Amino acid sequence: MIPSDCPIVVVGATGAVGREAIAILEARGHRADRVRAVASARSAGSTIPYAGGTLAVAEAGESSFVGQKIALFCATSDIARSLAPVARAAGCAVVDNSSAFRADPNAPLVVPEVNGEEVARARSPALIANPNCSTILLLVALEPLRKRFGIQRIVVSTYQAVSGAGAAAITELQVQAADMLAGRAPKTKVFAEPCAFNVFSHNSAMDEATGLNGEEKKMISETRRIWNDPEVEVSPTCVRVPVVRAHSESATITLKTAASESEVRAAFEGARGVQLIDDRKANKFPTPLHASGTDTVFVGRLRADPGSKRDAAGRTRNHCLFLSGDQLRKGAALNAIQIADLLFAK
């Protein structure tokens, strides 16, 4: 774990992910005088509550990394590309939450529960990329099955909270909901479609040639890279839903080795970062409300694919599940901090 007196700079400290990272450091008892909060010129001069006091927010720049050991980048790809080299030149290890370095072969792409050993190959000062939030949540949930049975194919549909698009998207949902309940027409700014009482294709750029949006492309390429398995088949459909926080995903998985439902359920016993909520009698399963503010990926609706054949022992290669996880914590800030933990272990 990162020592409480380790100098850390959080870049993009006033954004949704940056504030979550600072909240996690505070909960861990990290000393206020060892946390440096930096952001855009627009946010410079503001303060962030921390440990009974406040952190002053400074403008991010070349001087931000002097004397720091770890830089947690919670900003845009453009800022990461601009300032990550500056941070490393100052001797500061970088863990980046943006998409800037996810395809860079020199930057390990890491989910600690899945491929944490990749941190050991990072050159010093380290530059490590945090995967996309939907990919992180999915792979944490599937790792127990991959370890025990292998996975050949994933068909996944996401139900993604608006907070994945930032604080302005949360405000837009709240305002639209109030307007619609009052009989007023909703106004759109962050999304092209109203997000209140609506569901629509993920707002990332659409590739007209493939029919895939940017979020779907990330899930395919990042899963293959993290698992070091270019042959795994990933078929995602990514959607925004009128939920403030925490993503959910429905997945049908084709295992490499057939398994019974009880064997699949047993694979989750003691798994890192995963908890089963799967009470059929009470109709109790994972929800984004339950996952919000937690560090756990919740998995439920475990069942053999009803459309697949089973052998005499009741085994099949095709199984279904549903998951919910907080994309601001495990899907972003927490995953980055856990990577930093591994850097210190290294």
Above 90 in pLDDT, residue 166?
A: no
Residue-wise pLDDT tens digits, 306-335: 999 999 999 999 999 999 999 999 999 999
Place of tokens 């899907």: 331
Asked if 97 and 74 count as a contact pair (C-beta separation under 8 A), the reply is yes
Query: Long-range contacts of range 100-108, CB-CB < 8 Å, 24 or more positions apart?
Result: 100/129, 101/127, 101/129, 102/129, 102/131, 102/132, 102/218, 102/221, 102/222, 102/225, 103/221, 103/225, 104/129
Average pLDDT over every residue of 143-159: 98
Residue-wise pLDDT tens digits, 115-131: 999 999 898 999 999 99
Average pLDDT over every residue of 275-300: 98
Residue-wise pLDDT tens digits, 198-213: 999 999 999 999 999 9
**pLDDT the model gives residue 236:** 98
Is pTM, for the whole model, over 0.75? Answer: yes
What percent of the chain lies above the pLDDT cut of 70?
A: 100
Complete DSSP assignment for 240-284: E-S-SS-EEEEEEEEEEEEE-HHHHHHHTTT-TTEEE--BTTTTB
CATH number belonging to the domain at 135-327, selected among 3.40.50.2300, 1.10.260.30, 3.30.565.10, 3.30.360.10:
3.30.360.10
Q: How far is CA 35 from the centre of its chain?
A: 23
Which positions are catalytic? 133, 247
Average pLDDT over every residue of 232-244: 98
Above 90 in pLDDT, residue 242?
A: yes
**pLDDT the model gives residue 281:** 98
State the CB neighbour count (10 A cutoff) for residue 178: 12
Residue-wise pLDDT tens digits, 10-54: 999 999 999 999 999 999 999 999 999 999 999 999 999 999 999
Rounded CA separation 159/249 (Å): 6
Between β-strands 151-160 and 247-259, what pairing exists: parallel, antiparallel or unpaired? antiparallel
CATH of span 8-131+331-345: 3.40.50.720
Above 90 in pLDDT, residue 167?
A: no
Residue of 286, 285, 296 lying closest to 326 (CA atoms): 296
Above 90 in pLDDT, residue 346?
A: no
**pLDDT the model gives residue 32:** 97
Asked if 201 and 164 count as a contact pair (C-beta separation under 8 A), the reply is no
Residue-wise pLDDT tens digits, 73-104: 999 999 999 999 999 999 999 999 999 999 99
Q: What is the DSSP letter of 79?
A: H
Task: Give the angle 187-191-197 at the CA atoms, nearest 5°.
Answer: 65
Residues of the chain with CATH 3.30.360.10: 135-327
143 confidence band (pLDDT: 50, 70, 90): very high
Residue of 328, 145, 134 lying closest to 249 (CA atoms): 134
**pLDDT the model gives residue 345:** 83
Asked if 300 and 65 count as a contact pair (C-beta separation under 8 A), the reply is no
Residues of the chain with CATH 3.40.50.720: 8-131+331-345
Q: What is the average pLDDT value for the chain, to the nearest integer?
A: 97
| Count of positions (residues) in the chain | 346
Average pLDDT over every residue of 126-149: 98
**pLDDT the model gives residue 343:** 94
Q: In what order do the strands lie in the sheet with 47-50?
A: 47-50, 53-59, 35-39, 8-11, 70-73, 93-96, 127-129
